[in-house]
Structure 1
Amino acid sequence: MLCESARGFSDGSSGVPMPFPLSFLTLPLVLHEETRQALPRDRRKRFAAWVTENPWIVATFPARAPLMVDLTREGLRFALRSGMLNITSEGGILVGRPPRPLASTQGADVAACVRAARIVGLWFRTTDIATAFALLGVRP
């Protein structure tokens, strides 16, 4: 999920790395089923507009995000060790070697999470870091 979010961030922006703090917003948005299901199908919708239309996400996100910090750190460690992600000297996250394609046996939930992570990465590309955190009611 973190790789796909970083890929979404970098696509179309000349390989600009995703800022490290945004990785800690990815999993709470993607792994929470109700939040994931509320994500738009249309990738053109702006993050701020989506948050405004879904105030219950802002209400529940601050409680959910700290619970995902350790999972995010472990995911980052794994992706860095395996070369799927790289950290730039400025602290940004770039996709390294691509992860293996999803097997059809991994199910619809995994595919939905990957799609959601891509959307979140695209959103982060057009949203200031401080704004993303503020919209979700958390601090880095």
Structure 2
Amino acid sequence: MPFSLALLVLPLCLQKDSREVIAGSSRSYLLKTVEKNPQLLVGFADRASDLLPFALEAFGVLMERGCFVVSQEGRLKTVPDRVRKSVTGTDESVSCQRVARIVGKEFARIADRVTVYATFGIRP
């Protein structure tokens, strides 16, 4: 996943309303989900900006722990056996993890940063 797209995962997963919409339409394409649910876009740019310091701090900790590497193209790649694949925790954290997985797969499927940023109405 490109680094710039990874910064959009937290604002989509941590807000309960967004999380519920995405989880409820996991069989649909993310772009269609956003089109059918414009409420996902309300305040998204502010949420993304507000969560940026936390995302960068998390990336720093994960990098320090050797959980992922950054490729020459700027993509984040997990290191095998360093990231737990099981989803555990409270109901809310499990929900966040599941939606993060959905969002990650959708970003990989879309494979175009410009499309994702334009869909969410923000600039990189």
TM-score by length of 1: 0.80
Taking the aligned partners of 1:45 and 1:23, their CA distance within structure 2 comes to 20
Q: Cα deviations across residues 2-27 of structure 1 (Å, max 9, x unaligned)?
A: xxxxxxxxxxxxxxxx1110011000
**The residue matched to 2:69 in structure 1 has which SS?**
strand
Which residue of structure 2 aligns with residue 87 of structure 1?
70
Match of 2:57 among 70, 74, 90: 74
Distance 1:59 1:102, change over 3 A: closer
Taking the aligned partners of 1:40 and 1:98, their CA distance within structure 2 comes to 22
Greater relative contact order (Cα 8 A, min sep 6): structure 1 or 2?
Answer: 1
What is the Cα deviation at residue 81 of structure 1?
0.8
Find out whether 1:65 has 2:48 as its counterpart. Answer: yes
Q: How many residues align?
A: 121
Native 8 Å contact 2:23 2:99 kept in 1: no
**The residue matched to 1:98 in structure 2 has which SS?**
coil
Consecutive unaligned residues of structure 2, counting only runs of 5 or more, are none
Consecutive unaligned residues of structure 1, counting only runs of 5 or more, are 1-17
Taking the aligned partners of 2:87 and 2:23, their CA distance within structure 1 comes to 22
Alignment of 1:1-140 (within 5 A): 18-41=1-24, 43-96=26-79, 97-99=82-84, 101=86, 103=88, 106-127=89-110, 128-140=112-124
Taking the aligned partners of 1:29 and 1:122, their CA distance within structure 2 comes to 13
Q: Work out the percentage of aligned pairs sharing the same amino acid.
A: 30
**The residue matched to 1:126 in structure 2 has which SS?**
helix
Native 8 Å contact 1:58 1:136 kept in 2: yes
Taking the aligned partners of 2:86 and 2:33, their CA distance within structure 1 comes to 29
Q: Residue 108 of structure 2 aligns to which amino acid in structure 1?
A: R
Distance 1:47 1:102, change over 3 A: closer
Distance 1:78 1:59, change over 3 A: same
Taking the aligned partners of 1:124 and 1:89, their CA distance within structure 2 comes to 19
| Runs of 4+ in structure 1 over 4 Å off | 100-103
Q: Residue 36 of structure 1 aligns to which amino acid in structure 2?
A: R
RMSD: 1.6
TM-score by length of 2: 0.89
Taking the aligned partners of 2:66 and 2:86, their CA distance within structure 1 comes to 15
